[in-house]
Chain A
Amino acid sequence: MTQTADKLIIGGREFTSRLMVGTGKYASFEQTARALEMSGAEIITVAVRRVNLDRSKESLLDYIDLKKYTLLPNTAGCYTADDAVRTCRLAREAGMSDFVKLEVLGDEKTLFPDNEELLKAAKILVAEGFTVLPYCSDDVIVCKKLEDIGCAAVMPLGAPIGSGLGIRNPYNIRIILENVSVPVIVDAGVGSASDAAIAMELGCAGVLMNTAIAGAQDPIAMAEAMKLAVIAGRLSFKAGRIPRKLYANASSPLDGLIV
């Protein structure tokens, strides 16, 4: 299997990279741009905020080649379906694209999704023609409901946003993978490259992360590590791992031993 043959398709669009990255928390716009480049990501998330009326401030998009990336505006900071829908409409007007990462948060401390509001917002946005990628709990029932509504993917969390705790419940992710047909993308919780590889080895279609790269001591190096981990994890999943056994099984032949 080659990487070129193994495309990720979301909302009718083809992507080669299965790593999606956020653009927040970097030390500078230069660093953001370099990390994005090293990550190989084709889909990058952005937030929608009021413009700073002090024009001396530069903008993130001055540093990003919009021909190379698909922008995925998020609804971070929204705690109601109404606010999330309003943010998505603004994002579409600003970016001229239907792709949105829908998140409706329930609580500032955990940043866990409010599933009730999330489902409500997803219904409205799908009806308005958005390509909706929802950040959700690692709960198969919610994921199935999001799929039924018409979301283009489901994005269960691996662990709380920014926590770096990794994939806390791989069994839940497996259950989701077995029961939905849209792409399953782990969003949030990844801390290191091995976490990203684990998500991909489970069979996820992709991984979305921000803090794990932006918060690393060397974000540029970590961006490359994540790129390689996602590729390695995907290849490992496709190759099919050996069954786990309790006892040893020699790799060298027993025939021809001199003793």
Chain B
Amino acid sequence: MQIVLNGDKVETSDGSTVEKLLLQLGISRDRVAVELNADIVPKSDYEKQLLSDGDKIEIVHFVGGG
């Protein structure tokens, strides 16, 4: 299936979860926030939050800024 990750179309396997996606991307869950179709996914839901075809995912973190 295809999801839109940070604005780009990305292929991911059926039955994927937020947790699996982060693992696949090699991103540590501690210092990021995840939005699924414009709603924040609480960290406690990462394992159970299933992804569906066409979902829009945003993964953000902190960068240098003023």
Tell me the bound Cα distance from A91 to B60 in angstroms: 8
Q: Cα distance A223–B35 when bound, in Å?
A: 36
B59 and A51 form a contact (CB under 8 A) = yes
Query: Whole-angstrom distance between the alpha carbons of A24 and B59 in the complex?
Result: 20
A-B Cβ contacts below 8 A, count = 97
B1 partner residues in chain A, CB cutoff 8 A: none
B64 touches A23 (CB 8 A): yes
A51 and B31 CA atoms in complex are apart in Å by 10
> Contact flags (1/0) for A19-34 with B, using CB distance below 8 Å?
0001111100000100
In contact, B64 and A50 (Cβ under 8 angstroms): no
| Tally of B interface residues using CB under 8 Å | 25
Enumerate chain B residues within 8 angstroms of A210, measured Cβ to Cβ.
Answer: 65-66
Interface hits, B26-44 → A, CB 8 Å = 26-27, 31-35, 38, 40, 42-43
Which listed residue (B27, B61, B64) contacts A24, Cβ 8 A? Answer: B64
Q: Which residue from B8, B27, B42, B43 sits with its C-beta under 8 Å from A51?
A: B27
Q: Give the contact stretch, choosing among A68-76, A138-146, A165-173.
A: A68-76
Q: Are A26 and B64 in contact (CB under 8 A)?
A: yes
* Contact among B8, B25, B34, B62 for A71, CB-based, below 8 A: B62
**Interface SS majority for chain A:** mixed
In the complex, are the beta carbons of B42 and A59 less than 8 A apart?
A: no
Most buried by B among A55, A60, A90, A162: A90
User: Can you report 20 A-B residue pairs in the complex whose CB atoms are below 8 A from each other?
Assistant: A23-B65, A24-B65, A45-B65, A46-B64, A48-B33, A48-B60, A48-B63, A49-B63, A50-B59, A51-B59, A53-B6, A53-B25, A59-B61, A61-B31, A61-B61, A92-B33, A93-B33, A93-B43, A94-B60, A209-B66
Contact surface of A with B, Cβ cutoff 8 Å: 22-26, 32, 45-51, 53, 55, 59-61, 71, 73-74, 76, 86, 89-95, 161-162, 209-211
Known: A23-B64, A48-B61, A71-B62. 12 other contacts (CB 8 A): A45-B66, A46-B62, A50-B6, A51-B32, A51-B60, A55-B27, A59-B31, A61-B62, A76-B66, A93-B42, A94-B61, A210-B66
